[in-house]
Structure 1
Amino acid sequence: MQEAIVSMALAGAIIGAAVGGWINDRFGRKKAIVFADTLFFIGSAVMGGAPNPSVLIVGRVFVGLGVGMASMASPLYISEASPTRVRGALVSLNGFLITGGQFLSYLINLAFTKARGTWRWMLGVAAVPALIQIILMSTLPESPRWLFRKGREEEGKAILRKIYSPHEVEAEINTLRESVEMEIRKHRKNQHSDNVENTNCEKSPTIVQLAGFASNRTALLLLFGVVFSLVVLTVVFHQSTTHSPMFSPIETSHFNNTCPDYHTSVNPGAWDCTKCLKASPECGFCASSANKLLPGACLISNVTTKDQCHIEERLWYTRGCPSKFGWLAIVGLALYIIFFSPGMGTVPWVVNSEIYPLRYRGICGGMASTSNWVSNLIVAQSFLSLTQAIGTAWTFMIFIFITVAAIIFVIILVPETKGLPMEEVEKMLERNSLNFKFWQRSSRNGEQVPAQKTESI
C-alpha cells in the first residue's frame, strides 16, 4: 500500500507530462500552468481529507498530474517570456527553487509532526502554494512566442515591449516574426512535398542561445562531481557492510530472544550485524552498551525487544548497521545534492526549453519531461529491491555507470549553444555531427575560437 501511494504520484506525473505538451501548444503556456496548479490544489485537498487509502491514492494521482504538467510548462513559459540575456539563469533559478522547496517541505512536515492529524496537514498544506500561484498567474502575460505562433502578433508585441528595453524590442520583434514565418513556410512546404515531415523533435532556426551560466560544459563539470559523490557513497556503504560489528553469543543470550535464523545458520561463527539484518526482516541488531562498534546481539525484531534494547541505553538497528564511516555517507549525499541540483537538475530543463522548433516545443518538451518522470518511477520502484538483492554499495555503483554514460552522451551528442548566434547553432545542428571538442565552436570563417570569446546575442 505504501508503494502504491508513493508510485501513483509518479505515474500521474508521467501522464501529466505526456499530455502537458499538447495542452501547452493548444491553449498556451500560461493556461497550462494554471491548469496544473488547479490539479495540484484539488489533489492536495483530496489527500488532506482522504477517509481511506483508496481516496488518498486518487489525490496522489491528481497531484502527480499537476506536477508532471508543471515540470515542463514552467521552464517553457519562463524561457519564452523572459529577456534573452537572463533566460538561462531564470530557468536555472526555477530548478534551484524547486530544490529549495523540497527542503522547505521537510521543515514544514517536521513542524506538523506534533499536530493533530499529522499527515493530513502535511499533504493538505500543499494546496496553499498552488492557490497562491493560480492567483499570481492572473497578473502575468501569455508567452509572446506562443502568441506569435497563433497569429496574435499585436498581443505578443505589447508583451515584448514590457519585457525588453525600447532599443531592444524592435530587433526582438523582427527576429521572432522571421523565426515564426520561416517555420510556417517550412511546415507548409513539407506538407506538400513527397517527403512529408514527421512530427519529431528536429532542430531549426528557432533555436536561441542559452543565456546565463547554464551550458553543457557546466553540466559536465557538475556531472563529474555527481560521479565523485556516488563513489563516496559506494565506498562508505561497502565499508559499512564489510566492517559491521560482529555477532556476540554472550550479548545475545543476555536477552534470551535470539533471531531464529541464527540457530539454523550453516556458519554462525561468521555472523555480524549485516548478516543478522539480511537473514530475515524479523531480525534486528542491538548494539553493545559499551561501544556501538563492538560485538552486539542479533534478536527477534519486535516492539518488546526494541524497548529492552533502549532501556539499557543501547542502539537498535533494523535497516543498517553501526559504522564509523556513517558521517561520510551524509557528506556524500550532501555533495550529490550540491552537484546535481545546479547541474543535471536544472541544465536539461534549460536545454529542453530552448532547443526545439517553436511549433514542436510543447510536444517535445512533454516527451522529455515524460522520460524524466518514467526514470523517476523506475528508480523509486527498484531502489529498495536492488539494495536488498545486491546491497546498497552495488546499487550506487549502477548509478555511477549510468552517470558515466550520461557524461559520454553529453560530450558526444549535446551541442554547446551558450553564446552562439542562432544561424551558427542552426548550422552546427543541421550537420548532425559528433561534438567531441565541446569546448570549442566554429566561427563563420571556419576558424576555431574559444567559447568565452563568443559574443552573446
Structure 2
Amino acid sequence: MAVAGAIFGAGFGGWINDRFGRKISLLGADVLFFIGAIIMAIAPQPWVIILGRIFVGLGVGMASMTAPLYISEASPAKIRGALVSANGFLITGGQFLAYLINLAFTKAPGTWRWMLGVAGLPAVVQFGLMMMLPESPRWLYRQNKVDEARAILEKIYPADQVEEEVNLLKQSVENEKAEEGLIGKDMISRLKGAFGNKIQFVGINTVMYYSPTIVQFAGFASKSTALALSLVTSGLNALGSIVSMAFVDKYGRRRLMIVSMFGLSSCLVALAVSTDTLCSDEHRTYFISGCPSSFGWLAVVFLGAYIITYSPGMGTAPWIVNSEIYPLRYRGVGGGIAAVSNWTSNLIVSLTFLTLTEALGSAGTFLLFAGFSLLGLVAIYLLVPETKGLAFEEVEKMLETGFKPSAFMKKSNKSEMHA
C-alpha cells in the first residue's frame, strides 16, 4: 500500500511542483511522512496501519520526484550529478539505518510501534531544515520572481558566471512561454504537450525487494540470519551510492547505466543458476527449513553483486537524467510521469515476486528479470543521451532534434560533432 500510495503521490506531486514550487512539495511530503508514521505507531487495528502506509506512500511519491529535481535546479552543472547522487546515498544509507533500528527494537517493549513511529523523527528534522533553504531559482524565474532567482544564483555560481546563467534562463523561459501560448496552460494540454514534445526520454529503475526471502532460498532458514545478511546487502547498496557520487560527473550517466544494466543481467542469470541447484525438494518449505546446500553462499554472493552493480548505475543515474532532460515548462509533470511509471513497476514487482517464484521457480523468476534487464539495456543504448556537465538549456537544444547513439549517426554528423 505504501508503493501504491507513492504512485498517486508522484502523480499529483508533479502538479504541485509546477503550481506551488519544489520547496512546498518537499515540505508537504514531510507532513505526509509524519502523519503516516504517527498513525502506524498508534494503530489499534491492522487496517489503521494500512491507512498510515498510504500516507507514507504519498510522501514517498512526492519526495522521490521532487528531491532530485530541486537538487539539480539548485546545483552548478559540473557537480550536479554528484549532488543528486548524494540524495541516492542518503536514501540507501537510510535503508541501512532502518535495518539497524529494526534490529534494535526487536527486544524493546512496543517493538513494531517504535519501528514504524520513529520514522516521523527524520520528517520533522527535514521539515525544519527545509524551511531554511531557498526555492528553486528556475521555478522562481518562471514565476517572474527574477530578483529572488538572481539572489539565489549569486550564492550558487561565481560572480563572473551569474549573468550568463541569468541570460540563459531568461532565453529559455521566454521560448517556453511562447510555446505555452500555443499549447495551453491546463493540465490536459500540458500532458499532451509533454508526450508530443520532440524530447525523447526513458525511465528505468529496478529495486530488489525480498532480500531476506532470497537469502532463505539460498538455504538460510533462520529469520535472524536472513535479516543479518540482508543488512549486508543494504550496506552494499549504500556503498554503491558513494561510487556513483564519485564517478557520475566524471564518466557520465549513460555509461554508468549501460555498465550497470549489463552487470544486473549477468547477476540475475547467475542467481537463477545458483538458486536452481539449491531447492530440489519441491515439498520443502524454504522459509521454515531452508534449502541446505554447501553452495548456498553463492546465491548470497550473487545477490550482493547484484546490489553493488545496481546501486551506482540504475539506482541513481536514472533519477539524475530524469531531473535534467525536461524543458522547464514540463519539468514537474514530466518528472511526475516518470516517477509514477517507476512506482507502478515497483508495485508490480512487489505484488508478483512470491507468486512468480511459486509458478516459475526462483530460477525462472530471476531469468524473467534478466530478460527485462536486457531490454532495458537496449532501451538505454538507443534512447538515453549523455547529459554530463551540460546546462539545462544545452540539454534541451541537444534533444530538440532527437537523440541517436553514435553507431547510428551519419558520418557527416559525427564529423560535425568532432569539429
- Shorter-chain TM range is 0.7 to 0.9
Query: In the alignment, is the contact (CA less than 8 A) between 2:77 and 2:391 conserved in 1?
Result: no
Name the CA distance, whole Å, in 1 between partners of 2:293 and 2:38.
Answer: 42
Q: Larger Cα Rg: Structure 1 or Structure 2?
A: 1
Structure 1 unaligned segments of length 5 or more: list them: 1-7, 205-209, 243-273, 278-283, 286-316, 450-457
Using a 3 Å threshold, how does the CA distance of structure 1 residues 447 and 360 change in structure 2: closer, same or farther? Answer: closer
Contact kept? 1:416, 1:438, Cα under 8 Å:
no
Percent identity (aligned)? 55
Q: How does 1:39-438 map to 2 (within 5 A)?
A: 39-190=32-183, 198-201=192-195, 202=197, 211=249, 213-242=251-280, 274-277=281-284, 318=288, 320-419=290-389, 425-426=395-396, 428-432=398-402, 434-435=404-405, 437=407
Unaligned runs of 5+ in 2: 200-247
- Corresponding residue SS for 1:140: coil
TM-score, normalization: structure 2? 0.82
What is the alpha-carbon distance in structure 2 between the residues aligned to residue 149 and residue 419 of structure 1? Answer: 23
Cα distance in structure 2, aligned partners of 1:441 and 1:14 = 43
Q: Which residue of 2 aligns with 1:17?
A: 10
- C-alpha distance 421-115 of structure 1, shift in aligned 2 (>3 A): closer
Pairwise CA distance, 1:429: 2.2
Shift in CA distance, 426/79, structure 1 to aligned 2, threshold 3 Å:
closer
> In 1, Cα distance between the equivalents of 2:369 and 2:150?
47
Q: Does the 8 Å contact 1:203/1:426 carry over to 2?
A: no
The one-letter code of the counterpart of 2:341 is S
Q: Which residue of 1 aligns with 2:227?
A: none
Would you say the 8 A contact 2:252–2:387 is kept in 1? no
Residue type of the alignment partner of 2:340? T
Q: Deviation string for 1:302-336 (max 9, x for gaps)?
A: xxxxxxxxxxxxxxx63631111111111111111
Which amino acid is the alignment partner of residue 359 of structure 1?
R
Question: 1:47-67: CA deviations, max 9, x gaps?
Answer: 011111011111010000000
Distance 2:165 2:120 in 1: 38
The alpha-carbon distance between structure 1 residues 117 and 16, as it changes in their structure 2 partners (threshold 3 A), is same
Return the alpha-carbon distance in structure 2 between the equivalents of residues 439 and 112 of structure 1.
57
* Counterpart code for 2:149: G
Counterpart residue number, 1:280: none
Q: Residue 313 of structure 1 corresponds to which residue in structure 2?
A: none
Letter matched to residue 166 of structure 2: I
1:36 to 29, 32, 37: 29
| Aligned residue-pair number | 366
Cα deviation for residue 213 of structure 1 reads 4.5
- Report the counterpart of residue 220 of structure 2 in structure 1: none
> Which piece of structure 1 moves more, 130-139 or 215-224?
215-224
Note the alpha carbon deviations across 1:262-294, whole angstroms, 9 max, x for none. xxxxxxxxxxxx2222xxxxxx58xxxxxxxxx
Q: Secondary structure at the match of 1:78?
A: helix
Instruction: State the alpha-carbon separation in 2 of the partners of residues 54 and 360 from structure 1.
Output: 37
Q: Which amino acid aligns with 2:101?
A: I
Length-normalised TM-score, structure 1: 0.75
Q: In the aligned structure 2, how far is the partner of 1:397 from the partner of 1:319?
A: 25
After superposition, the Cα gap between the structure-2 partners of 1:222 and 1:433, relative to the gap in structure 1 and judged at 3 Å, is: closer
Instruction: State the Cα distance separating 1:363 from its structure 2 match.
Output: 0.5
User: What is the DSSP-based 3-state SS (H/G/I as helix, E as strand, rest coil) of the residue aligned with 2:323?
Assistant: helix
Distance 1:213 1:120, change over 3 A: farther
**Deviation, structure 1 residue 339:** 1.0
